[in-house]
Homo-oligomer: A and B are copies of this chain.
Amino acid sequence: MSIESTALDTTELYQRVLQFYARQSQLLDAGDVTAWAATFTADGVFAADAHPEPVNGRGNIERAARAAADDIARRGLRRRHWLGMVDVTTDDGTIRSRYYALVFLTPIAGQAALHVSTTGEDVLVRSGGGLLVRERRISRDDLGAGAA
C-alpha cells in the first residue's frame, strides 16, 4: 500500500469517526434511544465510572439509556452531548478513540449550563460502510479515580 493511500485511509477514518459521533450524539439527545443503542455492537460494553459496573450488551445499554433519557425528559431538560478533541489510533486493525465529552443541559425557558466534563475511550469496529462501538469507557472529571 502506498504512502498516499495510507494517508487517505487515516483521513477518511478520522472523518468517519467524527461524523459517527455527531450522529450518535444527536440520536441520544433526541431521545431516539433504540437507534442510538444500534450504534453499539450486539455484545457492546458501556462502562462509566459514575456507575457501579459496566453495562453489557446492546439490549441492556438501550434500557439504561432509556431510563436516563426519560428522566431528562421528565425534568423538562434538553441534553446535548459534545464530543471533541478526538484522537483516533489504529493498531492491529483495532480502532481506538480517546476524546473529551461535555454534557450541556437546558431547561425549557431556562439557562443552558454545562452539566459535566468527561473523558471517553472507545473501541470501534467497522460494520458495513459504517462504525459501531464495541466498548466505551467514560470517566467523569469530577470523580477521583482513573487517569488524569
Q: Point out residues on A near B: beta carbons under 8 Å.
A: 7-8, 10-12, 14-16, 18-19, 21-23, 25-26, 29-31, 73, 78, 80-88, 98-100, 102, 104, 106-117, 141-144, 147-148
Contacts and interface: CB of A to CB of B under 8 A. Distances in A.
A85 B83 contact: yes
A74 to B, nearest CB: 13
Contacts of A26: 85, 87, 98, 100
Nearest to A24: B85
Contacts of A114: 104, 112-114
A98 to B, nearest CB: 7
Contacts of A100: 25-26, 80, 82
Given A80-B100, A104-B102, A104-B117, A148 B30 contact: yes
A98 B144 CA distance: 34
A51 B112 CA distance: 19
A115 to B, nearest CB: 8
Given A86-B22, A109-B144, A15 B8 contact: no
B23 A80 contact: no
